[in-house]
Structure 1
């Protein structure tokens, strides 16, 4: 629990940020079906593939906690589970306590570091399906190293239920480990396993053809999907761990167990095949409809395990007769990651506990909306609000629990996986682009285009003529204007 508390203090907790804008509304709607009557397809498209939202909703019903507190409790539990799985994995790879503790202290300090250029952190400082799938993946690998295959199956099944995409990478890696454990060098079988598992888990719509129209725009908004966009330091972050893992596999590293060499070996073909798959998918526009498979997501577990192994080796060699070495690793890394966290969320508390108000002006506005507008309300918000610095990437739907037209940044990520949503996303995000500077007539035209929209949020002053019951701290919450009155014809 001490390491869990340290991780919480270092990395913080932020409600409804980033991918929380997708996962939280799905759970809220399962708990309160009357919420989000409009445009719910932008988060339910993910929700129907996973039991993650259902688990959150069931927990809230059983415990009678609000969804906000349910999310926070699950976040703490997921932190604890992640660190517990790291301990089991370290114990399967190292025989000496100093290696275990060095590995644990280092991984605690860097839990929110990026997994090279995959668009993923080792863990997120908020709750998502990855908060469950990451510890389950590490538990499965630790059990595999100890040849406890029944528990491997249990962990893999649970991973599939909460994050179908990540279980594909887990199945592939375990297959490589199984082959390596039996001294079989061919990895064709693991590749077949990966393909066969993946067929039934991913959305439909894969075909040989270039992406086009709004879907192409959404797809290319995720530049990390395409290997040719990776810079030299991204490549270094991808290839250097594989090179060091090769040394771990071939070298006679002191204080290690059988599992250390086995997993070091398995991660190498796992990574190389993923790089090859990504290169093939980027080699021709004809494969663009398959790019969303994101084979380089395999570098999420690779980076996680590599950091754990590297820290354990450092502890084994440097901490002998020097008990201060693990702490010397931990303190500067923890301070550095804390500062990164504060820079990432400068306008928000480090730990955002559930409350009715917030020191963040954007979040405070969304909480006012939650408490003072009808559940059936549909909002128009500037489609680029995620790039508005005061927001600290807090999602509108997640915190306000109200429907909204699609935004450009976060909903484009959903569209990149579900192409059928692209035309609707493009139309909605175009309609609200620049909304913070709309005139009264532009709001009237927007309301005419989307009569379902009844409210709007403006960062700045509202134009004269709008009814705005809440105007505080630079934000205005306003009712959409009625259509302009028809001109009266004069009689002769």
Structure 2
């Protein structure tokens, strides 16, 4: 037993640590940032990025998108992210695509710097610090159980900055520098208010453990559980706008009962591993593990008891399991540092093999996630994705006030890669299932409009032209984007192997 615990005891650092060269840290993460880019790729208009980019464009050009812009502005107005980028584009006259790429590279740098900085509070050995940082570099797009979150995304969103800011806040709490803690939490809140709340709860938990205030912590955990139960009871029979329950239930990541077994194991296994580490670790790793166990345990308990598909949906909306992002990130750094120390002490080449293998694995995962798009979608480069090619043609060749209808499940196509229509085409479109449905699931007031538009265009590829005109023209639709194999007699000035753009007249 002693021989097994020795690497842990030697690798872990107490708060009495040697000074770290800022120049070395900056040099390290500067070199690793492009490595992270090449491993994980870059897709500026995919998934959540499509909402944020469309929000930026809407602020720069207020007349863009028309009546469906509510699905963009409702989401982006809560963060300074879109406002900041829109201001830079508007007043400095910088092109958006290169700006987004530069900001994405900056976010990688800040993320890796934050992880390196935290690792200096956890590990005394350079192997441990390098291991933690390399783990963050190679595994940053790792999914967080079944929450629909990753540690970092291969595109730019508000979370690209709120995540590293939260890590810097944790470093400040470890250092007991409260001014820095408030500053970093404020920056996190400016970027992503919801993630700042969860980060604040985690930091407060860590602080109470660090200072030995376990009774206060126990009382706070009990209060959180009781308050959640009260919310559940008081809102159990609450009425919701038409379509809201449908929108909420379509988000499987809201409800543990809809998770797969391996997603559930992603909640339990990290806490079990940290439980084993508790007996071996010294400060602050022991405190960090205990904070993860407490936050994770309370969150799972609340979601198990009070977040159900047939119950109150208020707690589902706030997505309490997002707490696990910090748990996963802390666990990744601790595990990476420990494995690097153990491997590196025996053979430095084994450390290289370990992280090269992780990099290859994550590269393969990203290639499989975005199979029809270039791995790195460089600014200004011609797209490989056929859907994106169609969207770009629409941007260049259709009237700015054109309003589109598409099958609401178009993003589910295996070769669409969740590329966002609004962000790329810069045209209005009826609501889709994936992203607009996600917005409606968080903002109930949008649910009736989302449901009506989704039902209006559902099955569009299987209608006759007469049905398309009769159903869609009264809703203001002037163009349709159909699958390439859809029979139609409409005037379709653009067609490729995946899609055709047709004027509705």
In structure 1, the partner of 2:210 is 181
Query: 1:242, 1:98 → 2: CA distance?
Result: 24
Q: Secondary structure at the match of 1:458?
A: strand
In structure 1, the partner of 2:167 is 138
Worse overlay, 431-440 or 217-226: 431-440
Is the counterpart of residue 330 in structure 1 residue 355 in structure 2?
A: yes
TM-score (norm 2): 0.88
Query: 1:129, 1:298 → 2: CA distance?
Result: 16
- Cα shift at 1:181: 1.5
Structure 2 spans left out of the alignment, 5+ residues: 1-29, 229-233
Closer, same or farther: CA 141–457 of 1 in aligned 2, 3 Å: same
- Cα shift at 1:467: 2.0
**CA deviation map 1:368-421 (0-9, x unaligned):** 111122222211111110111221111111111111100012211111101111
Closer, same or farther: CA 440–279 of 1 in aligned 2, 3 Å: same
**CA deviation map 1:409-443 (0-9, x unaligned):** 22111111011111111111111112223311112
**CA deviation map 1:328-360 (0-9, x unaligned):** 211111111111111111111000112263121
Map 1:3-402; keep pairs closer than 5 Å.
3-186=32-215, 187=217, 190=220, 207-209=235-237, 213-251=242-280, 253=281, 258-282=283-307, 285-355=310-380, 357-402=382-427
**CA deviation map 1:2-42 (0-9, x unaligned):** 21111100100012111122211111111221211221111
Query: 1:189, 1:459 → 2: CA distance?
Result: 57
- Cα shift at 1:318: 2.8
Closer, same or farther: CA 438–357 of 1 in aligned 2, 3 Å: farther
**CA deviation map 1:61-110 (0-9, x unaligned):** 35432222221111111111111100011111111100011111122111
- Cα shift at 1:189: 6.0
Q: Secondary structure at the match of 1:302?
A: helix
Q: Is the 8 A contact 1:210 1:285 kept in 2?
A: no
Closer, same or farther: CA 120–284 of 1 in aligned 2, 3 Å: closer
- Cα shift at 1:463: 4.7
In structure 2, the partner of 1:440 is 465
CA RMSD of aligned residues (A): 2.1
Q: Is the 8 A contact 1:357 1:367 kept in 2?
A: no
**CA deviation map 1:29-58 (0-9, x unaligned):** 112212112211111111121111111112
Query: 1:28, 1:143 → 2: CA distance?
Result: 35
- Higher helix fraction: Structure 1 or Structure 2? 2
Worse overlay, 235-244 or 283-292: 283-292
Query: 2:501, 2:107 → 1: CA distance?
Result: 36
- Cα shift at 1:208: 3.4
Query: 2:311, 2:498 → 1: CA distance?
Result: 47
Q: Is the 8 A contact 2:60 2:86 kept in 1?
A: yes
Structure 1 spans left out of the alignment, 5+ residues: 199-205, 482-492
Closer, same or farther: CA 107–407 of 1 in aligned 2, 3 Å: same
Query: 1:462, 1:355 → 2: CA distance?
Result: 31
Q: Is the 8 A contact 1:105 1:330 kept in 2?
A: yes
Match of 1:457 among 453, 466, 481: 481
Query: 1:144, 1:313 → 2: CA distance?
Result: 22
Worse overlay, 419-428 or 275-284: 275-284
In structure 2, the partner of 1:488 is none
Closer, same or farther: CA 308–111 of 1 in aligned 2, 3 Å: same
Q: Is the 8 A contact 1:25 1:397 kept in 2?
A: yes
Query: 1:263, 1:355 → 2: CA distance?
Result: 43
Worse overlay, 124-133 or 457-466: 457-466
In structure 1, the partner of 2:436 is 411
Q: Is the 8 A contact 2:247 2:441 kept in 1?
A: yes
Q: Secondary structure at the match of 1:305?
A: helix
**CA deviation map 1:190-228 (0-9, x unaligned):** 559989xx9xxxxxxx93326765211111111121112
**CA deviation map 1:420-477 (0-9, x unaligned):** 1111111111111122233111121123330x22111111156554222222334221
Number of corresponding residues: 467
Worse overlay, 320-329 or 95-104: 320-329
Query: 1:57, 1:193 → 2: CA distance?
Result: 41
**CA deviation map 1:94-132 (0-9, x unaligned):** 111000111111221111111111111111111111111
In structure 1, the partner of 2:500 is 476
Q: Secondary structure at the match of 2:67?
A: coil
Closer, same or farther: CA 136–87 of 1 in aligned 2, 3 Å: same
